[in-house]
């Protein structure tokens, strides 16, 4: 297989043939999956490299791989079938078992640590001319198909890298008073989960020992980075929300709000979690126009223990940003 220049996406091509057309408009991994899942006629299947475990006990450290194609998509799970085989398997598309093509050839040109080999029952059937079988299988089912981005493996390795760091500060909804926001700091990170704490150094009032969001040796307050309990520095000032903080922090966030209102780039401190760090989903403008003060809806109340056991009827009393 020939190697293409480093572009956003790869297409597997035959050796010796003319270069393919510019691939700037090629599909991404997600685009292919969505089109395949929606039944697009142009998406026959999506090939990729996958670890082959049939030979783990006899390969003495050499990793065996073979090519597979996606047959069905179910969330992050995909049903795949090995090329030239009836063997099917379910796997997670974010697993380290999956690679772009030709990953092994590009990272191990001499093929010392990695080898392409079909499932054992197929290799046994074609053992007299295995090389021709592999060539024909690639020619008929792999070459010419779009595959994963060339940096798929690198992106996968960085999947759990956090954009946050310990001791950053953000704004946290008060668990005991949902109409108040306080300043909190990140004290631990685990993937998407953040352990945040309200500290004496950031609070204008003494903190109670029973407050589960404050510093305690008995428990930690963990929260997902997409939670509606946390906000970037300046959120309360921008939206006119009640803020419990010291004077210097309040003045700092008022300057941020003023800059944003004037269309300027606000000056955040290094310790601040910014609006770019915690982007919100785009709001449907037409739907937002239909939301009015006084309307009622059902809400699962996260402030009532035990949590997530039922919904309550609530009414809209004010709208931020209106």
- How does pLDDT run along the chain (322 residues), one tens digit per residue? 433 334 344 444 444 444 443 333 333 456 656 665 566 555 556 788 888 888 888 888 888 888 898 888 887 888 899 988 888 889 888 888 888 776 666 667 777 788 888 898 888 888 888 888 888 888 887 777 777 777 777 777 777 778 899 999 999 999 888 889 999 999 999 888 999 999 999 999 988 777 888 876 566 889 999 888 999 999 999 999 999 999 999 999 999 999 999 999 999 999 999 999 988 777 888 888 899 999 999 887 666 654 556 778 889 988 876 5
| SS3 assignment, position 30 | helix
**Peptide bond preceding 216 in cis form (omega within 30 of 0):** no
In the chain, where does DSSP find H-type helix?
Answer: 29-37, 103-107, 120-125, 130-141, 152-157, 235-239, 247-261, 285-289
- The answer to whether the 29-157 and 169-280 domains have the same CATH topology is yes
b/e 180-193 (16+ beta carbons within 10 angstroms → b): ebbbbbbbebeeee
The pLDDT score that the predictor gives to residue 147 is 73
pLDDT value of residue 299: 82
Residue with tokens 């929606």: 38
SS3 (DSSP) at 170: strand
Pairing of β 88-92 and β 77-82:
antiparallel
Q: Hey, where are the domains in the chain?
A: 29-157, 169-280, 287-322
SS3 assignment, position 66:
strand
Q: Rounded to whole angstroms, what are the CA distances from 312 to 22, 173, 178, 309?
A: 56, 20, 15, 10
Give the distance, in angstroms, between the CA of residue 305 and the centroid of all CA atoms in the same chain. Answer: 30
- Which structure tokens are listed for 5? 């220049």
Say what the pLDDT of residue 71 is. Answer: 82
Q: What is the pLDDT of residue 237?
A: 96
Assigned CATH class of 29-157:
mainly beta
- Whether the CB-CB separation of 54 and 119 falls below 8 Å is answered with yes
**Predicted local distance difference test score (pLDDT) of residue 103:** 63
Q: Considering the domain 169-280 in this protein, what is its CATH number? A: 2.30.30.140
**99 Cβ neighbours under 8 A, 6+ residues apart:** 48, 49, 50, 65, 148, 152, 153
* CA 25 vs CA 21, 37, 146, 191, 302: distances in Å: 10, 20, 11, 32, 44
* Distance, CA of 223 to CA of 184 (rounded, Å): 12
């Amino acid at each position: 297989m020939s190697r293409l220049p480093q572009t956003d996406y790869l297409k597997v091509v035959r050796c010796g043939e003319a270069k393919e057309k510019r691939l700037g408009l090629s599909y991404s991994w997600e685009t292919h999956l969505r089109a395949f899942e929606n039944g697009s006629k142009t998406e026959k299947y999506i090939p990729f490299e996958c670890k082959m475990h049939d030979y783990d006990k006899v390969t003495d450290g050499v990793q065996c791989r073979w090519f597979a194609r996606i047959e069905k998509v179910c969330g992050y799970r995909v049903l795949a079938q090995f090329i030239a085989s009836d063997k099917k398997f379910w796997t997670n598309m974010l697993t380290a078992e999956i690679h772009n093509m030709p990953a092994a050839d590009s990272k191990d040109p001499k093929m010392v640590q990695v080898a392409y080999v079909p499932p054992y029952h197929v290799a046994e059937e074609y053992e007299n001319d295995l090389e021709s079988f592999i060539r024909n299988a690639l020619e008929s089912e792999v070459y010419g198909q779009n595959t994963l981005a060339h940096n798929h493996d690198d992106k996968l390795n960085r999947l759990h890298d956090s954009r946050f760091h310990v001791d950053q500060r953000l704004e946290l909804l008060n668990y005991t008073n949902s109409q108040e926001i306080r300043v909190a700091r990140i004290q631990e990170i685990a993937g998407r989960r953040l352990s945040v704490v309200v500290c004496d150094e950031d609070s204008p009032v003494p903190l109670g020992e029973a407050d589960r969001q404050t510093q305690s040796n008995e428990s930690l307050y963990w929260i997902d980075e997409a939670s509606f309990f946390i906000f970037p520095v300046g959120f309360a000032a921008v939206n006119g929300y009640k803020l419990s903080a010291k004077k210097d922090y309040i003045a700092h966030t008022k300057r941020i709000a003023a800059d944003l209102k004037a269309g300027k780039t606000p000056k955040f401190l290094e310790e601040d979690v910014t609006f770019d760090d915690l982007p919100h989903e785009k709001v449907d403008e037409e739907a937002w126009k239909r939301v009015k003060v006084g309307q009622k809806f059902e809400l699962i109340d996260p402030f009532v223990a035990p949590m997530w056991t039922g919904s309550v009827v609530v009414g809209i009393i004010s709208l931020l940003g209106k």
